[in-house]
Amino acid sequence: MLGRRFTSIHMLGGANRNKLLVRLTKERTGLPVEIGETESTTIGSPAVQLAASEADGQPIKPEAVRQWARDPLPAAPTQ
C-alpha cells in the first residue's frame, strides 16, 4: 500500500504493557517490536497525524497546525 517494507514495529503508549499483544505482534508480523515510553502518545499521536497530513507530498502549513491545535473537534453524535 505504501510502496515500502517495514523493518520493525515501534509500540508506544499503554498498549506496550500488554505482553500478549507485544508477543502476538512479533509472531504475526515476523518483525522485531521496539517498545517505547508508555506516555509517549502525548506527543506521538500529533506527530503521526502531522506526518499523515504530509503523505500527499505537500508539507503541512504552519497555519493548519495552529488551527488544529486551537479549534476543538466537533462533538460525536449521541445515540
Per-residue pLDDT at 20: 93
Q: Tell me if 69 sits within 8 A of 45, measured CB to CB.
A: no
Spans of all domains in the chain:
9-70
Q: What is the pLDDT of residues 12-55, one digit of tens each?
A: 778 788 999 999 999 999 999 988 777 655 666 676 777 676 66
Model pTM score: 0.47
Per-residue pLDDT at 33: 92
